[in-house]
A and B are shown apart, each in its own frame.
Chain A
Amino acid sequence: MRLVTALRQPERATALDAAGWNSLIAVARAEQLIGTLAWQVEGLDVPPAAARILADARASAEQGRTAALWEAEMAQRALAPTGVPLVLLKGTAFVAAGLAAGQGRHIGDLDILVPRDRMDEAEAAILGAGWEWVKPDPYDDAYYRQWMHELPPLIHRERDRMIDVHHTVLPLTARITPDAAAMLADSVALENGMRVLSPNDMLCHAAAHLFADGDLAGGLRNLWDIHCLMGEYGSEGLAERAAHHGLGTAMARAGRLTHHLFGTDVPDAWRALTALDRPYIRRLLSRDAWGRRSRKLTELGFYMRGHLLRMPPAMLARHLWTKFRKGYRPV
């Protein structure tokens, strides 16, 4: 909660004692929000030791931004001969478009969205430009190709950076099937020719990523993205667009949680928390003063939920059985 308060009202961080700073920094690091925190409190009167740590985090984020934009440039060059448009997603899109959500943001992989009927061309171009498979395992490979919303992850052999090539925003096995073709059709060109999703689609994707996929690890950062995007873009027509993608429930929940935690300006319908939102909040705030997950049961619940969302029960059983026989153990 201390991290949420510091992001929302940075001036309150100036009142922290040493123990408060130690836990704030540990939690911000664990949530990969330290760069964001550094930008939020910049210019405020904080203890020199904290200022030094935050300055390092800002410099790191700045370096990360440069590297992410360079990686996008490399992908653009790789795809150029095919004419497949380069549509950036998530962190790289935020920094490429100069959005507040990108300020200080940690950016891991490069995520791009490609029309499904042009995946083969995109894949060939990317392999030709020096990216290689991360998972040579045939089961994993076949699994990705048959059921996932993206190619198996690829890593560049020289730059050691991953690219995730998506053709839609949720696994094909998920019960929600967002309209990827509409997202591509409505994407917006930047000055350098790269493209990003339209404001509402960007928000829909963020909500899908946060609630309809996975187990909410890193959820606080994704929720902060949504807070920033809504602050910058507003939410006009957002509910309708989300409904079109089948993401109405996820978007509404995202709206309620950002309003509750960060005070985001959201439509009236998203202002009151429901009983079902509580476990989400518990999950998002489950870090102790050392940045460690402190609610194992909540975590396990979300782990199972994440898998159930991804696939129907019979398929999940088959998948887990295969993984078990191969000696895979979830951490």
Chain B
Amino acid sequence: MRHVTTLRIGPIGFRIGSDWRAPIAEVERLYAEYPKPDDGIADFNVHLFAARPWRRVLRPSVHIGGDFVIPDAAPLPLAQGLLAAEMGMNLQMALGQRRYLLLHAAAAERDGHAVLMTGISGAGKSTLAALLMARGWRLMGDEFALIDPETGLVHGFPRLVSLKNEAIEVVEKALPAAGFGPRMKGTPKGTIRHLVPDSRAVEAMVKPAEAALILFPSFGHEAAERPVLPSEAFVRLTQASTNYTKLAERGFDALTRLVRTVPARALDYPDADTALAQVDRLWRAL
């Protein structure tokens, strides 16, 4: 591949190769504070490539590949090259991660303890994670929380926070001094803008935390809370994990331990402020 960069997010090293300079330059600019992979050896490779040589220049379209691929991943226009790189890294994690139990969840830490927030796309994970960061929490990630089957600890994956549509403005207001990526319109998920995690999140990114609270937020409803039984939390989290079945017994043990020891709540909320107040109250009550 013509253009290459490497970086580490949390404990995971990546090597990204691209047929074009632009996506690599964007990744290097936004991940400037991030370290390189341990020993220079990447856990995963991402390929951003043109399906045909002339598609490098003629209506360039970025195909996403890597060590692990899904057959029908749609290509993106070159202007969304950064998104392609992000999707490539997420894809490698989702398909190839075997060291940690992978939960599709946002996570934030305080005093060594972490809140995990999981839900379908649009539930508000990324927005809440960014706003918690704005309020002094350490951002551990907006996409994946990694549970170590040996210790039960949560490891962060603080990649760029992927803000979508209305959430972009909300977070821009809350974090006016933060670093942002380009505003990408017309992506498969509408408008996307990436937020650079603050220095604190980056400096402490390999520090694991103890899971203290599991939340299942759901945006667009009257404010409401209800406890979630371990059995229900277990089932919901198996659905939120891309590698639960691959880890077999290790995954089962890690997940049962998590839901047995950590309280879980379902959280309905009409707007971000309400949700943050709910999280604060639940956190203080622990």
Residues of A near any B CB (own CB < 8 A): 17-19, 21-22, 25-26, 29-30, 47-50, 52-53, 56-57, 59-60, 63, 66-67, 290-292
Whole-angstrom distance between the Cβ of A292 and the nearest chain B Cβ: 7
A50 adjacent to B39 (CB under 8 Å): yes
Q: Which residues of A lie under 8 Å from residue B17 when comparing CB positions?
A: 290
User: Does B194 sit at the interface, judged by CB under 8 A?
Assistant: no
Q: Is B32 at the interface (CB under 8 A from chain A)?
A: no
B28 interfacial by beta-carbon distance below 8 Å: no
| B90 contacts the other chain (CB 8 A) | no
Say whether B41 contacts A47, CB under 8 Å.
yes
Q: Is the CB of B38 within 8 A of A26?
A: no
Determine, out of B42-50, B111-119, B135-143, B278-286, the stretch whose residues face the partner at the interface: B42-50
User: Chain B: interface residue count, which band?
Assistant: 20 to 34
| Closest chain B residue to A52, Cβ basis | B99
Q: Tell whether, in the assembled complex, residue B40 and residue A18 are in contact, meaning their CB atoms are under 8 Å apart.
A: yes
Contacts of A22 in B (CB 8 A): 15, 40-42, 45
Most-contacted residue by chain A among B1, B41, B67, B250 (CB, 10 A): B41
Q: Contacts of B250 on A, CB cut-off 8 Å?
A: 59
- The listed residue (A30, A53, A291) touching B41 by CB distance below 8 A is A53
CA distance A21 to B39 in the complex (A): 10
Chain B binding surface SS class: mixed
Shortest Cβ distance from B15 into chain A, in angstroms? 6
19 contacts between A and B (CB under 8 A): A17-B40, A18-B40, A19-B40, A21-B40, A21-B41, A22-B15, A25-B41, A29-B67, A30-B67, A48-B38, A49-B40, A49-B41, A49-B43, A52-B43, A60-B98, A290-B17, A290-B45, A291-B45, A292-B47
User: Nearest Cβ distance between residue A27 and chain B, in whole angstroms?
Assistant: 10
**Which residues of B in the span 19-42 have a Cβ within 8 Å of any Cβ on A?**
37-42
Kindly list chain A residues whose C-beta atoms are within 8 Å of the C-beta of B248: 63, 66-67
The verdict on B88 contacting chain A, using a C-beta distance below 8 Å, is no
Q: Residue on A with the closest CB to B65?
A: A292
**A17 surroundings in chain B (CB, below 8 A):** 40
Query: Which of B15, B17, B250 is the most central at the interface, judged by chain A CB atoms within 10 Å of its CB?
Result: B15
Complex Cα gap A292–B17 (Å): 12
Cβ of B55 under 8 Å from chain A = no
Minimum C-beta distance from B34 to chain A (A):
16
Q: Please give 11 more A-B residue pairs, beta carbons under 8 A apart, in addition to A21-B39, A60-B98.
A: A17-B40, A18-B40, A18-B41, A29-B67, A47-B39, A47-B41, A49-B13, A52-B43, A53-B41, A57-B98, A66-B248
Q: Are A48 and B39 in contact (CB under 8 A)?
A: yes
Q: Judge whether B40 and A56 touch: CB under 8 Å.
A: no
Residues of B within 8 A of A67 (CB): 248
Q: A199 CA to B246 CA in the complex, in Å?
A: 32
A56 contact set on B, CB distance < 8 A: 98-99
Among A17, A21, A290, A292, the most chain B Cβ lie within 10 Å of the Cβ of: A290
The CA-CA distance from A67 to B15 in the complex, in Å, is 31
A30 CA to B37 CA, complexed, in Å: 21
Q: Which residue of A lies closest to B11 (CB)?
A: A52
The CA of A60 and the CA of B98, in the complex, are separated in Å by 7
CA distance A199 to B98 in the complex (A): 34
Q: CB-CB < 8 A to B247: which residues of A?
A: 63
B99 surroundings in chain A (CB, below 8 A)? 52, 56
Q: A22-B45, A290-B1 are in contact. Are A49 and B98 (CB under 8 A)?
A: no
Task: List the 3 closest pairs (A to B, CB-CB), nearest first.
Answer: A18-B40, A49-B39, A49-B41
Q: In angstroms, how far is the closest chain B Cβ from the Cβ of A211?
A: 27
Which residue of the partner chain B has the closest CB to A67? B248
CA of A291 to CA of B247 in the docked complex: distance in angstroms? 25
Known: A22-B45, A290-B47, A291-B67. A59 touches B39 (CB 8 A): no
In B88-122, the 8 Å CB interface with A consists of: 98-99
| B43–A60 CB distance below 8 A | no
B246 and A63 form a contact (CB under 8 A): yes
Q: How far is the CA of A136 from the CA of B42 in the complex (A)?
A: 41
Q: Are B37 and A49 in contact (CB under 8 A)?
A: yes
- Shortest CB-to-CB span from A161 to chain B, Å, is 11
Residue of B nearest to A288 (CB): B1
Using Cβ atoms and an 8 Å threshold, which residues of chain A touch B67?
A: 26, 29-30, 291
* Bound form: Cα–Cα A25–B67 in Å: 9
